[in-house]
Amino acid sequence: MPFVHAADTEQVLDAYAGAFVASPHGIPSRFRNGAHEFFEQLDWFRREDCERLPEELAWARRECPVVPSGFDGGQYVVTRYDDLRTVGEHPEIFSSTTPGVQHVPVALPPLDLDPPLHRDFRQFLNPYFSRSFLSRYLPRMRELADSLIDGVIDRGRLEFVSEFAIPFTAGSLARVVIDDDDPDRMERAVQAVTGVATGDPSAFERVAGAAAEILSERSAGPAGHDDVLQSLITARVGEGRPLTLDEQLGVVTVLLLGGLDTTRGAIAHIGRFLAQLPGFEQRLRRPEWVRRDLEEILRHASTVSVMGRTVVEATQMQAVVVPKVNARWELQSVGRPEAGPNQVLVRVHACAICGTDVWMANGTLSFREFPLVLGHEGVGEVVAVGAGVTQRKIGDRVGIPMVQKRCGKCDFCREQHPNSFVTAANCAAPILTGVNVDGAHAEYIAADVDGTVLLPDAVPYELAAPTLCAGFTVWAGLRRAEVKPSGRVAVVGIGGLGHLAIQYAKAAGYHVTAVTHSLGKRDLARQLGADEVVTDGAGLKAAGGADLIMHTSSNHAAVAGAMEGLRPWGKVVMMGIATDEMTLPALPLVSHSYQIIGSAHNGFEYLAEALDFVARGAVTPMIEVFTKERVAEAYEKAANGDIRFKAVVTY
């Protein structure tokens, strides 16, 4: 389908480009600055641009194969063969139905159709463009060529496009598309088609008029023809309906629009090669030339500059990218993931910022190269399921915690432990959301179905997100400590984990003492459910002591101090991530038979329980919600410890 209109020989020959355009919903900001100026300013209909195009396309194929252009409100120019194939083979994403490079106000089936209707049209049209069918027009085309040559032969020279390519193409195509018995009307049709070929603005109307006249005559009379027009009357498309008049005339229009410039251009190229290449004429005169050489000419000197598609399904998404260590978190446009086998694609609604995210962003922990897309407290809705997925369906509300998949074959995996942070630390090749693969600080995430958990309906996304790591962490720690019913639990540190630990311990029926130096948090601790609030170990002891101390911060000294209030056979459960050394009093460990326990999620069953508490309203994470546009601020505040108590980013 030609989009470049060229009036004379030189222009036709210059029009070659061979690119492909798909209009996007927007140009990704990532490309804006680095984009090549040529493409930003590109006008497909400007001659100088067409001249530079081959060279610029070569640059793009090397440096930026899908290059944004500012043409017509913003388009991508897709330059590599493989990408063109992808675009062409996915009409559900790259649709033909919306106007492309050149907006034509009428329907142009099948050019502007997507499957399945597109297939229906091609099915009835294809036979009329087969070699064997078209060969019936060969004698007339020879006649036409002879008479055109006869007209100029005495002159010894000709303007090849206007005196041969256009009249020959128009005369032949008029025959193929509008094959009428009435010689006068046929002559009018040829004149009108020639008008189209030379850019006469009223010509389309005259073609449509002639076609409509013939169509209506033939519809009324007996069927006696076998040609394109007749097929427009007899064809059935969609659910077996006939074509509308608009569709019938649209096909006629697109055949002329599609056939005239292209064939004229191809013939012009052949004319040029004949004039310039010694021996070319001899090659063309060989009987088998058509299949081989014509295809080669079309490949080498294409008359189609560009094809248009409109992106109807987003292929990009906004994601939070941490460009390098300690850098500002940025919202960027990146490729949207797809659900692979055994994966689900989740439209993320919210993702909380975890202390571990801060540590990865500031380089304290490192699992992969920057740039990073973090986030292991993401929740959202399943919008697509990959092959083999049976446990989840579109519409399910899910969370994607950190441990997405274990390798399944290392020594650790062979022992069949439940998935948990212990898996993350011990499996030889685990897949860890937001750690060694992209996380959920993004609009979409594709995750292994077994690495997702169903969310109870009653838990809003904003509250589910911090439960995926923080809530999970403290509840799993409490469960692992196995405190006796009616036991006494002390929570040291009232922060992201601690404020949840108080609530979970209280909801589980324990007597809860909050240990905090911060006067400002005393009232809060009580509101969260603490029975007592003390400042240190002596206070804890005076208040009756504790069977369990929950170490929820990185302040080891505070915990060591609080152990003064730990009762005989008491336990300390450590849940916060720290990379330094911890010093504990040695003697009471033995004399009081203490247990020091580490806890690291320990299994998804504790996450399910943790979510149930939130669903019942027994535990409510304290959150500060940020829109994704404010993610940089959310991170700054989280990194500085200024959030009460969990930053949740919505997407």
By the rule CB under 6 A, 196 interacts with ligand HEM: no
Residue 413 interacts, among ligand HEM, Zn ion, none and using kind-specific CB cut-offs from 5 to 8 Å, with Zn ion
DSSP H or E segment with residue 38: helix 37-41
Binding mask 424-453 for Zn ion (x = CB under 5 A): ---xx-------------------------
Buried/exposed 48-71: b ≥16 CB within 10 Å, e otherwise: ebbeebeebbeebeeebbbbbbeb
Whether 125 and 232 have beta carbons less than 8 Å apart is answered as no
Beta strand spans in 557-621 (E): 566-574, 595-598
> What are the structure tokens assigned to 405, written together?
């998949």
Identify the CA nearest to 254 among candidates 345, 347, 118.
118
> What are the structure tokens assigned to 247, written together?
């569709």
Buried/exposed 428-460: b ≥16 CB within 10 Å, e otherwise: eebbbbbbbbbbbbbbbbbbbbbbbbebeeebe
196 or 619, CB closer to ligand HEM?
A: 196
- Residue 341: phi, psi to the nearest 5? -55, 135
Handedness of CA 433, 439, 443, 445 (dihedral sign): negative
Residue 350 interacts, among ligand HEM, Zn ion, none and using kind-specific CB cut-offs from 5 to 8 Å, with none
Total residues belonging to the chain: 651
Q: Which part of the chain contacts ligand HEM (CB under 6 A), choosing from 181-189, 250-258, 366-374, 597-605?
A: 250-258
Q: How far from each other are the two terminal CA atoms of the chain, in whole angstroms? A: 40
Range 464-493, binding Zn ion (CB under 5 A): 469
By the rule CB under 5 A, 413 interacts with Zn ion: yes
By the rule CB under 5 A, 647 interacts with Zn ion: no
**The only residue of 24, 167, 171, 259 in contact with ligand HEM, by rule CB under 6 A:** 259
Q: Kindly state the smallest distance separating residue 323's Cβ from Zn ion, in Å.
A: 21
Residue 109 interacts, among Zn ion, ligand HEM, none and using kind-specific CB cut-offs from 5 to 8 Å, with none
Whether 415 and 385 have beta carbons less than 8 Å apart is answered as no
> What are the structure tokens assigned to 626, written together?
């940020």
- Give the binding-site size for Zn ion (rule: CB under 5 A): 9
Range 322-381, binding Zn ion (CB under 5 A): 354, 356
By the rule CB under 6 A, 493 interacts with ligand HEM: no
69 or 263, CB closer to ligand HEM?
A: 263
Q: Work out the widest C-alpha separation in the chain, in whole angstroms.
A: 121
**The only residue of 258, 386, 418, 588 in contact with ligand HEM, by rule CB under 6 A:** 258
38 or 137, CB closer to ligand HEM?
A: 137
Distance CA 161, CA 512 (A): 92
**The only residue of 17, 178, 304, 374 in contact with ligand HEM, by rule CB under 6 A:** 304
262 or 555, CB closer to ligand HEM?
A: 262
By the rule CB under 6 A, 242 interacts with ligand HEM: no
Residue nearest to ligand HEM (CB): 258
Binding mask 87-116 for ligand HEM (x = CB under 6 A): -----------------------xx-----
**The only residue of 141, 233, 298, 608 in contact with ligand HEM, by rule CB under 6 A:** 298
Residue 1 interacts, among Zn ion, ligand HEM, none and using kind-specific CB cut-offs from 5 to 8 Å, with ligand HEM
DSSP assignment letter at 439: -
By the rule CB under 6 A, 307 interacts with ligand HEM: yes
- Residue 482: phi, psi to the nearest 5? 50, 60
Residues that bind Zn ion (CB under 5 A): 354, 356, 406-407, 410, 413, 427-428, 469
Residues that bind ligand HEM (CB under 6 A): 1, 110-111, 122, 173, 254-255, 258-259, 262-263, 266, 298, 302-304, 307
